[in-house]
Each structure stands twice: as structure tokens, then as C-alpha cells.
Structure 1
């Protein structure tokens, strides 16, 4: 698959997304500051990012997320009538206070999307009192992180996505976190790992992928982990919602390229058909 020039007339997921997320931050980013040098965006301050003002700003944006611009080529699926919840966990590392996001890799035993990276979570059951309850229950079932360890910030806007169930992201903080405290359910989860925020905010980590249905999406590559698809989309949304304008790096604003929908080359005629219609092959 080759990369083509940007087509400004073609509706693209990330251009729509960045216009929405950047509208409120651009004016604040241009306001004057007393500091002669802006803060290093690769070094988020844990006290500020986990404080009440950060929580308020983040959840306001998460509750006002733009609708997913559905590609016209994707037909509806019965799975879209289902709903699920995922946990976006801000983990404060034990000993260093470094802030990371918690991810899982789906088990090899699962029939769909095996080995793909995701946030903890799953389908909402009738017994779940809320989407928060669903996300906490699924997290405990998948990786053994008990709900009392999670300080819940709240629910984001429900996202209606093509070909899958709608998703409600639930945001929470896990203080004094160590990856060693997790107990994985091997039937559902292959591994669990945390990625430092600063590792997601450098140019070499921010990339994109192009789907044949006609839209591009954000991808984050950190070490051997490739965070893409819905999880990459949610990660991109969350970073824009969490980070204040002064700490949003340029690579999250402009580094993702936009390309026109991928087109398959014309199908070559079958050998027999070609033989019958090619004048040079006639006797």
C-alpha cells in the first residue's frame, strides 16, 4: 500500500477530531505566560495532571467528544446495538510517581482480535449498575486489579463506532501502582503493561494507519507495542483531553498525516478471458 498526497476535500477522521479538540486549546495556548520558556511537554507534572483542575478539564472534554465520522463504505452490524465500557487508567508508579496508561494485550485464545492491544473492559451486562460498574468489573476479571484501588474520575461520552459495540470510556487513577500486583486471566489477557505518558508524546511514537474503508487513524508505537485501531483512537482522544494546552506537543497536533482513501488497483482479467479477447492470441 502506497502513501498518497493529502486530499483536503475527503473527510478524514483525524482532521475532524483535531479541529474539535484544538478549538478550545488554541486560544489558551496563545495567551501570554510569565515564564520565558514553556514547560517541557515530555515531563508531565504528576501533581498537576492528577489534581482537581486537571480532572475537571479532562472530564469536560471527554463528555463533549465529537461523534465518530462513520465511513460511508461500512455497513451497519448487529454488534453496534451492544454497549461496552473500558477503563482508561492513569497509573502513578510506585516509587517514581511517573504517570502511565494501562493497556492489555488480548489473549491468543480469543476468537476475535486476538493479540491486539486494548484497554481493560468489555461488554456491559444486565447486572452492571452503570458503565463505571461495568469497566471496574471487567478490569478486575481480566487483570485482577480490584475496584477499590481505582479512584474514578467519571464516564466519558458514549462513542458509537462502526462494526462494533458502542464504547463508554471510564477514566480513573491508580495511585502507588506496580505492574506486579496484577493477576491476569489468561483466557482473556495475554499480557498487561503500562506506557509512560511521556513515551506517547514524542514524534517517533506518533504515527497513523490507513484503512481501506476510507479513513486514517492515530497509531502509537512504543518499543514493541503498536497501539492502533479503536485503542489508538481512544488514546489520542484522551491525551488531547488530559494535557493542558502548554503541554500538548506538536507531534500530537500536526504529525499525523492525512491521505485520501486507499484504492485497489483495477482487477486484471482472468487468464482464459484474456486469452479469448486478446486479438494477438487469435490464429
Structure 2
């Protein structure tokens, strides 16, 4: 009896193959593989810095604080998420926070200072991967997001992509691309708990490529992996969607999708601490310790629905990763060249 019920459920919920994404996949993969190490400062990234920096920002002395060898570890031959300036500003802010934490430990005369410092160093060098899940929802090109559980110790209730830390035992020791892809897929399965019994095959995600890594504010290297959901999905507000993606309540409390066109048309900006703080410290003494410059980062609205909470928005690292993908990859492929800003490659 139970087997018969499962079979019926499979027939009712079995999604169809996403032909739109299958047709678009070769072009997306081609775009993602067309970047080189030189593209971080090339015209293909032109305009991004101006969009993020307001007023007259003094950058020369900031740039001198970051050595070229520090930058090279982030500049892989993939789509750049940050410009050189943004990367330098991020690394400066990370180092400022690290030193502040060490000073706090010393001031408190913590007996485990040595152990804490070692832990911080290990954490800084730890790698992570996130999956950007490209999908179609009843034929509409969309992206899947999660809202992190309110009980988590870090980034609780924030909108994010599924992902987490590389685990050598679980993800293997293969080349950089394979092991981080394994991390992204494993963490996505753990968070979404997608039900492969409701799919024609157990393969839900096809990997299309990756971008350059970006630093989190804790200093860990985060590599975005772009994946394509192989099947056309139902609306996220339906029971069918929740049966495919029941989610792990310990990690996420909402799984949802937003159409790519709505994301691009709804893009906005807000002051971003990871860059503005660097400028405020640079200007101390000239401006009585006050921030003379405000650096703007991207943000995206979330369409109204029953599970949306007040304050829900896409911001921070998630928005930083999302914007260049929308403008340089997903926008040109699905929306044409002129939607949501400069979409030239």
C-alpha cells in the first residue's frame, strides 16, 4: 500500500524537463568560461566601481595597503565579482576587524589568547562554496534563494544562497573546481532536502560554471558555483514546491524563487559596511572621525508573499555575488541587453 502511494505521488509531482534552460545552458557556460585573469581591470568590468562609490573617494593610499600577491589568490580566470578596488577595500576591512578582535582578546587578558588566535587563522583560511540555483518556474527564468533559520548563530534570518564550508572527508581532495562543486552540491542537498523520489532521475542540478571567489567579512574564501535545475518547478507558494523542497528547519525556514527579470528591474542600493568603514578610517583626522564618503552596495527587493517578513531583502554578500551574474550572464541570455542596467559583456 505504501509503495502504491509513493508511486502515485511521483506521477502527480513529476516535473517536466526545463527545455528553456537546456537550450540556454551552452551560452551560459560559454560566457562563464570566457573570462581571464585580465578581466578584473578590463572594460568588461567597467562602470561597476562608479556605481558603488559616491562622492570623491581617496583610493590611492587604500590601494597601497594591499600587496599584489594578496590580490592574486582571489583573481582566478573566471567571472570577476569584485573589481580590484572593491577587493582591496574588502581585504582592508577584514584585516581591521581581525586586529580589533585580537586587541579585544588581549584587553580582556583571555587565558586562551593563543588558542583563539590559532582558531581565527584557521577559520580565515577555510574555504566555502555557494550554489547559485538557476531554474525555471512554470517556464519563467528564475533564481532560487533561502532564508536562513532564525536559530543559527551566524547570519540568522538573512536571505542567502545554499552553501557552506568545504569538508575534506565529504568533498574529496580533487582539483579546486571539483571539490568546491562537491561542497556546493552537498550543502544544497543538506539545506533544501530536495526529494529525489519525486524526480525522474536523482540528478536535480547541472553545473554550468563558477566565478572568482570573494572574501566574506570573516576572511574566508567563498566560491560561487552556478548550477541549473534540470526540471521546470511549480510556484514556490504551492504545496507541490514544498514537497520537492521540504527544507532542513535547522538551517533554513523559507525556500523561494524570484524571476530574473523582477530581480533586475527591482535592483536598488544601500550603504555597504564592508567598504564604507574602510573609507571612514582612512579619513580620520581629516574629518573628525566622521565618515566623509558613503560606499553603496547592491540590494534587491523580494516580491510580496505570505512568508515574507518585514525587513526581508537580498543584500550583503548575496547581493554582491548576484549583481554581476544578472548583468553579465543571466540578463543578456534571458532578458536582452538593456534590462536592469548595463548588460554588456
TM-score, shorter chain, exceeding 0.5: yes
TM-score by length of 1: 0.65
Q: How does 1:55-94 map to 2 (within 5 A)?
A: 55-61=29-35, 63-65=78-80, 66-67=83-84, 68-71=87-90, 72-75=92-95, 77=98, 78=120, 79-93=123-137
CA distance in 2, matches of 1:233, 1:58: 17
Structure 2: segments with no counterpart, 5+ residues: 1-18, 36-76, 99-119, 173-178, 197-201, 280-294
Kept after mapping to 2: 8 A contact 1:59/1:156: no
Kept after mapping to 2: 8 A contact 1:48/1:54: no
Task: Specify the alignment match of 2:186 in structure 1.
Answer: 137
Structure ranking higher on relative contact order (CA contacts 8 Å, 6+ apart):
1
CA distance in 1, matches of 2:205, 2:146: 17
Task: Specify the alignment match of 1:195 in structure 2.
Answer: 258
Kept after mapping to 2: 8 A contact 1:209/1:219: no
Shift, 1:248, TM fit: 4.0
Shift, 1:132, TM fit: 0.5
Matched, 1:150 2:205: yes
In the superposition, relative to structure 1, how do residues 98 and 109 fare at CA in structure 2: closer, same or farther (>3 Å)? same
SS state of the match for residue 201, structure 1? helix
TM-score by length of 2: 0.54
Q: How does 1:36-55 map to 2 (within 5 A)?
A: 46=20, 50-55=24-29
Aligned residues, how many? 207
Matched, 1:218 2:218: no
Structure 1: segments with no counterpart, 5+ residues: 1-44, 255-283
Kept after mapping to 2: 8 A contact 1:90/1:100: yes
Render the CA deviation track for 1:52-87: whole Å, top value 9, x for unaligned: 123211343481414523243442643331110000
Which of 247, 263, 268 is 2:336 aligned to?
Answer: 247
Shift, 1:162, TM fit: 3.5
Shift, 1:46, TM fit: 4.0
CA distance in 2, matches of 1:230, 1:169: 11
Task: Specify the alignment match of 2:270 in structure 1.
Answer: 208
